[in-house]
Structure 1
Amino acid sequence: MVKRARLLALLLLLPSLPAAAEELSFASVRIDGVQRVDRAAVEAVITTRAREPVTAETIDADLRAIYALGHFDDVRAEQRDSDGVPQLVYHVSERPLVRRISIRGNDKLKVSQVRGVVTLRTPGILKTQDLQASETAIRQLYTNEGYYAAEVSSQVEMQGKNEATVFFDIVEGPKVTIDNIHFEGNRVFSDRKLRKFMQTKRWWIFSWLTSSGTYNEEMLQNDLELIKEEYFNKGYVRVKVKQPHIQLSDDRSEMDIYIEIEEGESYSTGQLSLKGDLLESEEVLLKGVQLRTGETFSRELLRKSIKNLNDFYADRGYAYVNVTPLTQIDDDSRSVAVAFTIEQGVQVHIDRIEIGGNSKTRDKVVRREMVLVEGDLYSANRLETSRKRINNLGFFSEVNVDAVAHPDDPTRMDVHVDVKEQPTGTFSVGFGYSSTDGFIGQGSISQDNFLGNAWRLNLAASIGGDYNNYRIGLLDPYFLDRNLALGFDLYKTDREWDEYDVETTGGQIKLGVPLSYENRLFFVYKYEQKEIYDVDPWSSVYIRSQEGRSTVSSLYASISRNTTDFRPDPSRGYMSEFSVEYAGLGGTERFVKTIADHRHFFPLMWDWVFSPHGQIGYLTEIGGQELPLDERFYLGGINTMRGFDTREVGPWQPRGYPQYDESGNLIGYAPSETERDYIGGVKVAFFNFELIFPLLKDAGLKGVLFVDVGNAWGEDEEYFSDMRYSAGAGIRWNSPLGPLRLEWGYNLDPYDYEDKSKFDFSIGKFF
């Protein structure tokens, strides 16, 4: 249309012009044909003015500018004479106004999904480029959903007043699944390995659940880059991953993807050097470079090297440091030399720390987790540490800690801490079940951020056929705004075991003394009154001897270290604790209980985590007094040795049958040959080896494979003698009702009287 408009302009104007470059003047300049478009917008792009000199080139430029507005199908210029007075008229023909958009033929996708990608708007001017872009966007939407063969066309239906309805007609076709992904030319990586690098996957039986196995062009293009990256990390810097070839099956329901690779040769790392602003000697700075001369070149190690150098400078206040690598490839020696250029910039101090988004949590709770304060030198590492510490509070679903340049002074930066609150308390009334405690009615209120002060409040009541528990507790992790935790618990429990019942009423005062962020001392003074009653008369000798009332007055002390990355759900780091409880500060019970516990988390590929856990304990008497029954070590069940019945791993005594004389008087007990009571051990050691992997990441659903090893022993038995073994699998889910665990364990060496397997599950948080 622009070419046609230019031709019309020249044809109309040239007869009245002696030469194309000769100037004219018009008494008036007018625009005809404007209906909906703002006339002022058109006049604003015209340079021709009345009674001012103008050439054919100027008019041609005006025509181009009017057409470029995108509102017109046709633009032309005309010279008119009115009573001998010359006039210039620009004629425009407006494009139709889109009043309605209709989607037809969509059965698999909702109208709202299709409309969401359409670039045309109502009301809006109908533009050919928008129409074509909308068709492409709809086609891409169907491709991303697996309908690779979908066809999209458009139809414009004109109505009165230069208005139009646009119809998008869709022929969806069958959903195309990926049957196979083939590679050609690969020697370094097998086909199977290359497929693992890719996000695009073949269709399999559970693809309906994971949404994999369908073609997504954008994802496939990204996969080509992922494959290149893996080759670059092996030194193949000349690798070429060609565009994939798609082959549809005859019925267009399946496709094969063919990817050709030219690997080339592997290159090693050549000379490494640094230049620019060097804070330390080149030898010192090169220690942060993970590439090594003579070893295989790796782009991943190059990136890590750049980060290490950046962090080295950023942790010394140089927030604007710029590390630029210059690589030089030598094809003759098949090596890559790297020269790092460092521009340190100015040294920066922190000016203000501003906290936002905390509608409930008080500023001081967030601020005391910051390891970077006003006036400090900028440090990237300390900023990240601050973010992790705030995230570890568990109060926020999002935590962002950003350093922002000061508008007036390049040597100062402000730190903005933006958080998004999440629920930290629960109120629940309902019923739960665990294989240990049976059915339990539960009412509880818990708040980990009570009054926004990070106080931990716990009010709970659990009522069941075998277990009743009432508890109230409060812990202030920063008592009087000091780095000191202080709290208390009051509780009453009543538990029924098969052999006896036990009722406990007590309380405890807790004091936490942090040695550092990762290390903590904890002290607990506990006072309990206990009664063991309703003892089965056929119970073992030891259990019968425990009947009656007792009191425990003890002091518990522990030292712990926690280096995990995210404490609510760790994936790396470890937790260690060593504790000693001394009972003998009054009361009737006398004992010392020592426990060492360690759990480690090792991240693996695909968000898998390997987590070994071990615990060793020892219970010793004081003054020759018999050890209390419920302080001994019991193994078996979901929290210790899966695949075994709860509390049925370790020492036992035969049940006793009462013997009577002819007059009916009790004269003693005869030990049973088949029935036994488990009495717990004074020594314990058990180990859990778990492989945890995501099942549905967005839902927080995880699977676990495990192996458990351990036992409990009496005083006259040796540690690690007669170890027991089990293995199994399970599912874990942080459900809205609380943590859910379903785990099945198989006893690898069952005794004649033991079951070969055991299924355990629990839901909710039982206080």
Structure 2
Amino acid sequence: MQQRVRMKNRVCQLSGIIACLVLLWYSGQPAVALSAEGVSVGVLPFFINSQEPLEYLGRAIPDMIASRLEKRGEITVVPTPKLTAALRAHGWTTLDEAKAVQIGKTAGAEVMVGGTLTKLGSMLSLDVTVFSVTGTREPRRVYVTAADTDSLIAKVNELVRRLNFLILDRQVVSEVRVMGNRFIEKDAILYAIQTRKGEVFSPEVLQEDLKKIYQLGYFKDIQIMSTDTEAGKEITFQVVEKPMVKTVQIIGNKTLKLEDIQKVMEVKPRTILDLNKVVGDVERIKKLYVDKGYYEAEITYKTEQLDEDFASVVFTIKENDVVKIKKVTFSGNASISARELSKVIETRKKHWLLSWFTTIGIFKDESLEKDVERLTAYYYSKGFLMAKIDKPSVEFKKGEGIYVHFSITEGDRFTIGSIDFKGDLIYDPALLIKKIQSKSGQTFNGRTLNDDLVALKGLYAEKGFAYADISPLTEIKQDEKKVNIIFSIDRGEKIYIEEIKISGNTRTRDNVIRRELRLTEGSVYNSEEIKRSKQEVNNLGFFETVNINTEPGSKPNLVKLKVEVKERPTGSFSIGAGYSSVDSIMGMFQISQNNLFGRGQQLTLMAQLGGRSNYYNISFTEPWFRDTRTSVGFDL
């Protein structure tokens, strides 16, 4: 029996055919009546064909098969005493169908299982026959082979799985094949489906597999063929691939560069033609143009079949004129003027001059979303804690431009009620009040509150608590239009400097930089000292940039300081000439080095040569004599 399901472009056409497939498949299968306790099965002793004494396996294998069959829950194995009594009554000397049926009837079984174990060299073969006691099925056979006795148990498990399918009249998938694929790998198709070799054949699963293969987007026609074989159902997926994209052309782009358009596209040469991706690319290209102000840009596509295997895709672009924002309006802003709000947002109407060489007036969806956040934050900074900005409305009027409108619900303006501190207080609350800008009675300002958090964390960082967690807890008094602020402080562990790493100093020695630092390994972390250290190193004049950052140390309470510098020239040479009534023409030469040999020492050589006299000078300065801040030097 061979069954075929065909699909052209629409999966929904498959449902009726699959329904027929299900009926057709089940109509040819004799059913086993399942009792509430499952199918009753008797497992007979196995016969041994071997020169070695393997009788123990003849008894052990049936026991293993019986226990594993019953473990699956749908089969009930005939109890050993019943089966033993039936064997005594009828005898069991050869693998005989009539005798197996008699024993089964006596034992009350619906199905009997018997077989032989054959050993040739190290190879073992288990040949099993399934007998229908009711006579509704011909004897069915299944076998497995094992390389040696060590691998026999694994093969018994495989045998039981196949016996389970036979006894319950479930067909097994004996093979899964893919045909017709040229560009798409077979494994990619098999990975997408659930039907597997050795699993139970299921028309429902096959229907889902068909959908999944189609959803890959690589095929224009799919056929599924199932063939009955002695080993089970052989499933073949016959596919017809969509053509491969040979060339992708983009025509008509003047404003945007070709490479910028190609970056957002998914359709590329040497990929399978997928119309969903082509349509998606049209939208992506359109968005690029909209972001540049070409709101009326038109993008179309055309596909051309070059031969049986290849096709080309051509995208045609008609840019049209740039469309600018004509007007931006606000409603509901009773407390803040539209002019003030316009300065907050990025979306702005076109300017008669600036729009010619800037992006002012260009409409962007991303900017619009961020503008809602900007307006909300701005109102929050003005004390409007309940302000709500609706999604802006955008209206395009052909020949005029784009109109954008923001609808605002301001709510009440709140003032600060009380300010308090709780948690790990290492400073007097009166001092903390002085360090923050927020004051009781002021209009609540979200930005000021953020600045206060930075200031408080800085205070704690000066005492070594670099990771202090400070959170502002707000208690809103709706009726009083006030908000009470409580700064909750968790100072965490005191942090120490584990290591100081210096990088970027290709000429200057490490110790020249280290001696300018206000902190050493083992010191308590101090943010203020780090700032001063940065300034001290910068004051040397040896570097273009100085950065000091931290990174986690080997323990939670340790950090590493990373001092990163970029060297700059520290030497100079000057030459000059002059005239005096005494020496007539004079020449002046000077060479100086402010970082001699990278040691931070200063050396200057100067010569003044005249007609009647010459003057020479050598100047040397050691700014850190014996690693102290004592400066020594001489002039000759």
Structure 2 length normalisation: TM-score?
0.62
Counterparts of 1:260 and 1:462, CA distance in 2: 74
Is contact 2:519–2:530 with CA below 8 Å preserved after alignment? Answer: yes
Q: Which of 327, 341, 359 is the equivalent residue of 2:474?
A: 327
One-letter amino acid of the counterpart of residue 388, structure 2: K
Q: Does 1:16 align with 2:25?
A: yes
One-letter amino acid of the counterpart of residue 185, structure 1: G
Deviations 1:126-153 (A, max 9, x none): 4455434433332232223232322323
Deviations 1:616-652 (A, max 9, x none): xxxxxxxxxxxxxxxxxxxxxxxxxxxxxxxxxxxxx
Is contact 1:12–1:79 with CA below 8 Å preserved after alignment? Answer: no
One-letter amino acid of the counterpart of residue 414, structure 1: K
One-letter amino acid of the counterpart of residue 266, structure 1: R
Could you say what the CA RMSD is over the residues aligned between the two structures, in angstroms? 4.6
Determine the structure 2 residue equivalent to 1:225.
373
Q: Which of 501, 509, 518 is the equivalent residue of 1:354?
A: 501
Q: Which of 27, 34, 37 is the equivalent residue of 2:184?
A: 37
Counterparts of 2:404 and 2:279, CA distance in 1: 28
Q: Which of 459, 473, 498 is the equivalent residue of 1:312?
A: 459
Determine the structure 2 residue equivalent to 1:171.
318
Determine the structure 1 residue equivalent to 2:281.
134
Determine the structure 2 residue equivalent to 1:488.
604
Counterparts of 2:454 and 2:24, CA distance in 1: 71
Q: Does 1:238 align with 2:372?
A: no
Q: Which of 254, 261, 264 is the equivalent residue of 1:107?
A: 254
Give the direction of change, closer, same or farther, for the CA distance of 1:509–1:52 in structure 2 (3 Å limit): same
Partner of 1:124, secondary structure, is coil
Partner of 2:249, secondary structure, is strand
Matches within 5 A, 1:177-216: 177-201=324-348, 202-216=350-364
Counterparts of 2:609 and 2:404, CA distance in 1: 64
Greater mean alpha carbon deviation, residues 178-187 or residues 231-240: 178-187
Partner of 1:198, secondary structure, is coil
Decide which structure has greater helix share. Answer: 2
Counterparts of 2:330 and 2:609, CA distance in 1: 65
Is contact 2:222–2:239 with CA below 8 Å preserved after alignment? Answer: yes
Q: What displacement does 1:235 show?
A: 0.2
Counterparts of 1:6 and 1:340, CA distance in 2: 64
Determine the structure 2 residue equivalent to 1:476.
594
Percent of aligned pairs with the same amino acid: 28
One-letter amino acid of the counterpart of residue 572, structure 2: L
Q: What displacement does 1:234 show?
A: 0.9
Q: Structure 2: any 5+ residue segments left out of the alignment?
A: 1-9, 32-167, 579-584
Give the direction of change, closer, same or farther, for the CA distance of 1:91–1:187 in structure 2 (3 Å limit): same
Deviations 1:348-367 (A, max 9, x none): 33333334455666655665
One-letter amino acid of the counterpart of residue 486, structure 1: Q
Deviations 1:171-198 (A, max 9, x none): 2111233444333332333333223223
Deviations 1:557-606 (A, max 9, x none): xxxxxxxxxxxxxxxxxxxxxxxxxxxxxxxxxxxxxxxxxxxxxxxxxx
Q: Which has the larger radius of gyration?
A: 2
One-letter amino acid of the counterpart of residue 325, structure 1: P
Determine the structure 1 residue equivalent to 2:557.
411
Is contact 1:8–1:76 with CA below 8 Å preserved after alignment? Answer: no
Is contact 1:13–1:79 with CA below 8 Å preserved after alignment? Answer: no
Q: What displacement does 1:328 show?
A: 4.0
Counterparts of 1:22 and 1:336, CA distance in 2: 75
Q: What displacement does 1:304 show?
A: 1.6
Determine the structure 2 residue equivalent to 1:457.
572
Matches within 5 A, 1:417-432: 417-418=563-564, 421=566
Q: What displacement does 1:295 show?
A: 2.0
Is contact 2:189–2:213 with CA below 8 Å preserved after alignment? Answer: yes
Partner of 1:186, secondary structure, is coil
Counterparts of 2:294 and 2:409, CA distance in 1: 31
Q: What displacement does 1:160 show?
A: 2.7
Determine the structure 1 residue equivalent to 2:445.
298
One-letter amino acid of the counterpart of residue 415, structure 1: L
Structure 1 length normalisation: TM-score?
0.52
Counterparts of 2:475 and 2:12, CA distance in 1: 50
Determine the structure 2 residue equivalent to 1:650.
none
Q: Which of 300, 308, 330 is the equivalent residue of 1:153?
A: 300
Deviations 1:366-424 (A, max 9, x none): 65565444323344555555566667778777765442224x533333334456x5xx7
Q: What displacement does 1:163 show?
A: 3.1
Matches within 5 A, 1:619-634: none
Is contact 2:172–2:232 with CA below 8 Å preserved after alignment? Answer: no
Matches within 5 A, 1:356-755: 356=503, 363=510, 367=514, 370-383=517-530, 401-406=548-553, 408-418=554-564, 421=566, 448-449=568-569, 455-459=570-574, 472-476=590-594, 481=599, 486-488=602-604, 490=606
Is contact 1:245–1:259 with CA below 8 Å preserved after alignment? Answer: yes
Decide which structure has greater strand share. Answer: 1
Counterparts of 2:598 and 2:231, CA distance in 1: 96
Counterparts of 1:209 and 1:507, CA distance in 2: 58
Counterparts of 1:45 and 1:367, CA distance in 2: 61
Partner of 1:173, secondary structure, is coil
One-letter amino acid of the counterpart of residue 41, structure 1: A
Q: Does 1:116 align with 2:263?
A: yes
Q: Does 1:80 align with 2:198?
A: no
Determine the structure 2 residue equivalent to 1:548.
none
Counterparts of 1:133 and 1:181, CA distance in 2: 31
Determine the structure 1 residue equivalent to 2:483.
336
One-letter amino acid of the counterpart of residue 222, structure 1: K
Determine the structure 2 residue equivalent to 1:676.
none
Deviations 1:56-112 (A, max 9, x none): 454455456555656556666442235795212334454443332221111222222
Counterparts of 1:243 and 1:474, CA distance in 2: 65
Q: What displacement does 1:30 show?
A: 1.9
Q: Structure 1: any 5+ residue segments left out of the alignment?
A: 425-447, 450-454, 495-503, 515-519, 528-767
Counterparts of 1:285 and 1:67, CA distance in 2: 67
Is contact 2:509–2:598 with CA below 8 Å preserved after alignment? Answer: no
Deviations 1:531-552 (A, max 9, x none): xxxxxxxxxxxxxxxxxxxxxx
Determine the structure 2 residue equivalent to 1:262.
409
Is contact 1:9–1:77 with CA below 8 Å preserved after alignment? Answer: no
Q: What displacement does 1:266 show?
A: 0.7
Counterparts of 1:493 and 1:175, CA distance in 2: 70
Partner of 1:197, secondary structure, is coil
One-letter amino acid of the counterpart of residue 391, structure 2: Q
Counterparts of 2:280 and 2:287, CA distance in 1: 10
Determine the structure 2 residue equivalent to 1:25.
172
Q: What displacement does 1:167 show?
A: 2.2
Is contact 1:203–1:213 with CA below 8 Å preserved after alignment? Answer: yes
Give the direction of change, closer, same or farther, for the CA distance of 1:353–1:77 in structure 2 (3 Å limit): farther
Q: What displacement does 1:299 show?
A: 1.0
Paired residues in the alignment total 477
Is contact 1:506–1:526 with CA below 8 Å preserved after alignment? Answer: no
Give the direction of change, closer, same or farther, for the CA distance of 1:249–1:63 in structure 2 (3 Å limit): closer
